[in-house]
Chain A
Amino acid sequence: MIEAKKLTKKFGTTAALDEISFSIGSGSVFGLVGSNGAGKSTFLRTLAGIYKPGGGEVLLDGAAPFENSEVKSQIFFISDFPYFLPQASLKEMAAFYSRLYPSWSQKRFEELCGMFPIDSKSKIVNMSKGMQRQAAIICAIATQPRCLLMDEVFDGLDPVMRQLLKRIVSGEVAQREMTVVIASHNLRELEDFCDHVGLFHKGGVVFERDLDELKLGISKVQAVFKPMPELSAFAPLEIIKTEMHGSLINLVIRGTKDEILEKINGLNPVFAEVLPLTLEEVFISEMEVAGYDLENILN
C-alpha cells in the first residue's frame, strides 16, 4: 500500500505538494488527474525516490523509497519523456535493467517484444516518440515491479497501442496485484482503465475516490420546467453547476441518481433526465468549484 502522510515538497518558495495525505491500496490502478502544475509529476517522482520530501513522508508498504534500494527495486517509474542510455538499443537497455532489478523477467521481456512493433536491436534514440514510449513500457513491465508509476504515458501512443498497454497493465494487476499510479490529462483514457482517481490542484488533493463511486456520486440533470421555479427551490440539492436556457435547466448535482430524481420530480418538471458524467465533466465541474475554470481564467 502506498501512503502519503502530510507530504510536502517545495521548489524554492513554491509548494508543489502541500501537506497531502491519502493512500493507494495494493493492486489498484490509481489515476492522478489535475490542472497543470498541480503536483502530479512531483508526487510521482517523490514516490519513485527521485525527490526527497521536504516534509511529511511517502511510504510503500511502510518504507520510504528515498535512498532505499530495496524499496526502489520494487518500483519502476516511466517519466513523461523517458531517458535511455546514449546510443543504446532496447536489448542493451534490457541488459542494463536486468542487472539492477532482481525481479527482471527475460521471458516477459521477449513476450513483450513480440507484442509491440519495435525492433529490439535498433537504437532507441532514432525511434519516434511513441516507439520510445513503447520501449520504456516494455522495460518497465519486464522488471515485474510491485508498483508501476507512469507520467503521461499515453501521449504519443496510437489508439491501438493504448489499448494494448491498458490490457497488458490490467493483466499484470490481475495476476500479480501490481499497483499502478498513472498521471494523465487524457481523462477519457483513464476512465476505462483506473479504478481510483485522485484530483490534484495547486499542490493539494481536491478529492481521492473510487471511480465508480465518484461517477455515481455526481450526476448531470437536464430538466424542463414550465414555469421555471425559483432557484431557491433547488436548495435541498447539492448543486455544483447550473446552466439555464429559457425553460431548460442543466444541473450538475452531487448525490445518487435516485435521490436527485426524487427531489427534481418533487418540483414537477415537464421533463427530467439524469445522465452520468464522464470523468472529464467531473474534472471540469470540480475544478470550477476550486476556481480553476475558463470564465475565471478569462476574467
Chain B
Amino acid sequence: MTSKTSSTRRMKEFRETYLWSLKKNRGMMALLALLMFIALPMILMTVMANTQNRITTEIYTPEMWTQTYMSGIMTLTAALVTPLSLIFVLVISVSLFGYMHQKRSVDTFHALPVGRTPMILGRLLAGLTTLYAPVLLNFMIVFFVGASYPVLLQNCWTAVLSYLLWLMLICLATLCLSAFMAVCTGMTTDMILSLLGVNAAYPLLIFLGDRFASSLLPGLNTGLNSNSLFLTALSPFSAAFMPYILSGSQYQGGSSPVSTGFYVWWTVFTLILLAGTVILYQKRKSECAESSFAFSLPKNAIRFMITAVVGLGFGLLLQSETENLSNFFIGLIAGSLAAHIVTEAIYSRGFKQLKKSFVGYGFFAAVFLAAYAVLATGFFGYDTRIPSADSVTSITVNDAYTSSGGRINNKSQHELAEILPTLTEKSNIDKVMELHKTITQEKRSHSYPYCLNSANGSPLTITYHLKNGGTMKRTYYFEYQTDDQGNFFSPLGDVAKSKEYRETSNLLFYVEPEYIKSIDVGSKTSESSVTFAPDINTKKELLDALKQDILDGKVGDGKTAADSFTYLMIEYKAPLQLKDGKLKTLLNGYDGDIYLYANNYYYAEGSGKTSELMEKLGWTK
C-alpha cells in the first residue's frame, strides 16, 4: 500500500469517525446552545432592556452603554458560560471516550477498520465542534445585541474576542486533558476522579508548598500570587477563571484581559496533551478496559499531589493553631497517610494493592524530607545572601505601615507599576543593607537549622535592583510595635522618615495638578463629605501643601491609630493621558491611558500647610 493510499484511507477513517461522533452528540450540542443562550444573550438582553427603561431619568452616554454591555458579558461569561462549558466538556468526554472503558465497546470499536489515531482525533474534533458551535453562535448573538444598542463596538470588540478565544482555548485544553485521562485510565469513574483530582490538587499543592517554604526559609519570596500562571498551570478548571479574577468585577475598558503568557502556556500544554494522548492511545492495550489503569503515571502523580496537599495542609493548620513544630509533623504524617490510603483505596477499589502502594508513599516522604532539609539549612545560602553595595543601583521597600503609594493600572486593569519607596542615595542603601544583615543574623542565631514559623506579623519586602539588570527580593515578617500615640515603629527606623523615602512612597510626588479631577473633604467622625472641583492654581497649591506636610510628617494615610480627624480624598481623571514628568518616567515613557486610584490623606486641623490652605479656601466649614 502506497503512503498516498494510506493517508487517503486515514483521512477517510478520520472523517467518518468525526461524522458519526458528531451525530451521536448532536443532542448535547443543541442542549448546550440552548443553555448558553439563556446564560448569556438572554440575560444580557434583559440587562440592556432594563437599562433602556431606566434612562428616561438620566443621560446615558455610549460610553456608559459600552460599560454596561461589557460588564454584563464579563460577569456572565465568568459566572455562567465558563462553568457551563466546563461541565459540558466533562459530559462530552464521557460520551466520546467512555467506550475505552468497557470491554464490549472496545471489542467493537477496535475491530473496526479504523486506525487508532483517526479514531481518537475524529472523536476529539467532534467534541470540539459540539462545544464550539454553541459558543460561537451565542457570541454572535451577543454581538448583534450590542449592535442594537448605542454600544461602541469598535472599542470593545477585541475584549469580547479575547473572552471568546480564551473560552475556546480552555475548553480545548480541558477536552485534551480529559482524553489523556481517558486513555490512561481503565474505567470512566477513574477518568472523572483523576480529572477532578488534578484540577483541585495541583493549585492547592503549589499554594501550600509556597506557604510551607515561606514559613521555613526566612526571607523567601516566591512571587506567587493569584495572577500567577504557575499556580494554575496544570489545572484548566482554575485557569479558566483567572482572567476574570484579574479584571475584577467591572469592565474598565481595554483590549485583552488575558495575558500573553496564559495563551502561550495553554496552547503549548494543549499540544503536549494532544500528542501524549495520540501516542499513548496507540500503545494502550484493549484488555485494559474495566481494569484499574492502562498507564499508571497519572494515578501515581495524582496520588502524590493529594497526599502532599492533605499532609501539608493538615500539618500547617495544626502548627499555626498551636505554634508547635512537632504538631506540624504529626499533622503531616496523619494527613498524608490518610490521604494516601483513601486515594489508593478509591483507585484500586479496595485495599489489596495498599501494601504495594506504600512505595509511592515512601517517594512522597523522601521528597518531603529532602525539601525540608534543603529549606531548613538555608537553601544553599539563600537565607544569608545580600548583594554587595557596589552592585546595587536602588532598593525598593514595601513596608505595610509606611508604604502608602498605591497602584497604577492600564485600561485593561493590568498593573503597570506600584508606588513604592525607592532608595538610590548611598546612605539610605547602606542603612537598609545593614538592617538586612542584622535580620539574617538574628534569624540564624535564633534557630538554625530553621524551624517552621507561621508568618505572623506584617511583611517587609526589600527588593534590590542590581546593576546587571537583575533583582533580588526578600520578605520578612515583623510584629510591629507602637508608641503611646499608636504610631507604628517601622523596622526601617530613620530610613522611613528620610526625605527620599517619603518622596518616593507617595503618589502625590509623581502627579501633576492637571491630573486631579476633584477633592472630597470629610471628617473621620462624620459620614458625609463635600466635593470640590478647584481650578488649576488651587490644585497646585494644594498639591504643594500636601507634599510639604508629608515631608514634615504632618499628613498620614490613615494607617496609624492616632491619625487626625480631617481627610482629603483626591480623585484623579480617568482615563489619564500622561504628560512628561515623574510619573511618565516611572512608567518608562508609557503613553497609553492609565488609571490612578483615589487616596485619602489625614491631617490635624490647625497643624501644617494643608490645614492652613483648607482654612484659607473655606473648605473646612
Contact = CB atoms under 8 A, between A and B. Distances in A.
Contacts of B113: 69-70, 72-73, 100-101
Contacts of A82: 104, 108
A49 B127 CA distance: 26
A52 B105 CA distance: 17
Given A50-B110, A70-B1, A99-B16, A81 B115 contact: no
A83 B114 contact: no
Given A51-B286, A96-B20, A79 B104 contact: yes
Contacts of B286: 45, 50-52
A273 interface: no
A96 B16 CA distance: 9
Nearest to A97: B112
Contact of A67 (B9, B106, B115, B285): B115
A11 B287 contact: yes
A8 to B, nearest CB: 14
A75 interface: yes
Contacts of B111: 45, 48-50, 72, 75-77
Interface string A197-214: 000000000000000000
A261 interface: no
Judged by DSSP, the binding face of B is helix
A100 B107 contact: no
A127 interface: no
A84 B24 CA distance: 13
Interface in A45-65: 45, 48-52
Interface string B69-112: 00000000000000000000000000000000010111110111
A226 to B, nearest CB: 59
Interface string A112-145: 0000000000000000000000000000000000
Contacts of B557: none
Contact of A100 (B104, B106, B112): B112
Nearest to A16: B287
Nearest to B286: A50
B92 to A, nearest CB: 14
B300 interface: no
B1 A85 contact: no
A83 B107 contact: yes
B105 A83 contact: yes
B30 to A, nearest CB: 16
Contacts of A11: 287
Interface in B159-173: none
B116 interface: yes
B287 A100 contact: no
A83 B113 CA distance: 16
A91 B387 CA distance: 78
B104 A81 contact: yes
Nearest to A136: B108
B563 interface: no
A51 B287 contact: yes
A85 B23 CA distance: 11
B259 interface: no
Nearest to A149: B111
Nearest to B15: A99
B44 to A, nearest CB: 36
Contacts of B115: 67, 69
Looking at A50, A72, A85, which has the most chain B CB atoms within 10 Å of its CB? A50
B255 interface: no
Contacts of A77: 107, 111
15 contacts: A45-B111, A48-B107, A50-B106, A50-B110, A50-B111, A50-B286, A69-B9, A69-B10, A69-B115, A72-B113, A79-B104, A79-B108, A83-B107, A85-B20, A99-B19
Given A82-B108, A99-B16, 5 more contacts: A49-B111, A50-B111, A52-B285, A70-B1, A77-B111
Interface of A: 11, 45, 48-52, 67, 69-70, 72-73, 75-77, 79, 81-86, 96, 99-101
9 A-B pairs with the lowest CB-CB distances in the bound complex, closest first: A73-B113, A83-B104, A72-B113, A83-B108, A69-B113, A77-B111, A50-B110, A48-B111, A79-B107
